[in-house]
Amino acid sequence: AQKVTQAQTEISVVEKEDVTLDCVYETRDTTYYLFWYKQPPSGELVFLIRRNSFDEQNEISGRYSWNFQKSTSSFNFTITASQVVDSAVYFCALSEAGTGNQFYFGTGTSLTVIP
Amino acid sequence: EPEVTQTPSHQVTQMGQEVILRCVPISNHLYFYWYRQILGQKVEFLVSFYNNEISEKSEIFDDQFSVERPDGSNFTLKIRSTKLEDSAMYFCASSVGMGGTEAFFGQGTRLTVV
């Protein structure tokens, strides 16, 4: 079974629009960690954010914000006023305390921001 | 800013040949990983390494694969006899600790087996 599901395969938005990338996870561990990584066209994986299962506070960092809801097992990522440089593949990932530090990645959402 | 570096960025090899992918993790990190990403697919865990031994490995990491930390700075992934299906982007990562610590990834090595 998929531990991390990113149902949106591809999204296109026009510059300055807001966009939300969905992530739904599945785990039986009570202690777990959620991450978002960005993969620009150059191919590297860039760490964006980490959340642990005990901290449901939403977080805002500039134009980025994350909404963690344990009740729906979701960890969604919103980009406000999108820019062309936001075009990338975004991966949500899960790490469970019971399995060390192995990351389970979702299949990624490819975001294209059209100028 | 410290970063994970990988060499080479792209390697082409013939089927059946051995390849070694190299990584220099961030210097104060203690945990090291290899992941791979087949083109257009998700990133998959291969192996984690701590205290000079494998701490966890996936089903993908069979006897064809091995990892080594030959000195204080390098971390290598060896594929003994490459197959066409080994073609992928291979990412090295490192982290300070376990338990959900964020991992920092290198820029990847694109391996093409022909």
B10-23 pLDDT, tens digit per residue, is: 999 999 999 999 99
Partner residues linked to A23 by β-bridges: none
In order, the DSSP letters of chain A are --SEE---SEEEEETT--EEE--EE--S-SSEEEEEEEE-TT---EEEEEEETT----EEETTEEEEEEGGGTEEEEEESS--GGG-EEEEEEEEEGGGTT-EEE---EEEEEE-
pLDDT bracket for residue A43 (50, 70, 90)? confident
Contact A45 B91 (CB under 8 A): yes
Task: For residues B67-94, give the mean pLDDT.
Answer: 94
Total count of residues recorded for chain A? 115
Between CA A82 and CA A85 the distance in angstroms is: 8
Is the model's pLDDT at A2 over the cut of 80? no
Cβ separation of B108 and A44 shorter than 8 Å?
yes
Which residues lie across from A47 on neighbouring strands?
A37
Query: What is the mean predicted confidence (pLDDT) over A62-82?
Result: 94
pLDDT for residue A100: 65
Rounded to the nearest integer, the mean pLDDT of chain A is 92
Residue B86 in 3-state DSSP? helix
**Is the pLDDT reported for residue B100 higher than 80?**
no
* Per-residue pLDDT, B15: 97
Is the pLDDT at A81 greater than 70? The verdict is yes
Which residues on A lie below 8 Å from B104 (Cβ)?
47
Q: B45 touching A, CB under 8 A? A: yes
Q: What is the DSSP letter of B66?
A: E
Give the pair of three-digit tokens for residue B61.
């990491």
Residue in B closest to A106 by C-alpha: B42
The residue among A76 and B99 whose pLDDT is bigger is A76
3-class secondary structure, B85: helix
- Between A100 and B47, the higher pLDDT residue: B47
pLDDT digits (tens, 9 = 90+) for A12-27: 999 999 999 999 999 9
Q: Looking at the partner chain, which of B45, B89, B91 has a beta carbon nearest the beta carbon of A102? A: B45
Burial label for A37, CB within 10 Å (0-12, 13-18, 19+), is: buried
Q: Average pLDDT, stretch B48-77?
A: 92
Provide the residue type at A42 as one letter: S
Contacts of B93 in chain A (CB under 8 A): 45
* Percent of chain B with pLDDT strictly greater than 90: 76
Backbone angles phi, psi at B39, to 5 degrees: -50, 125
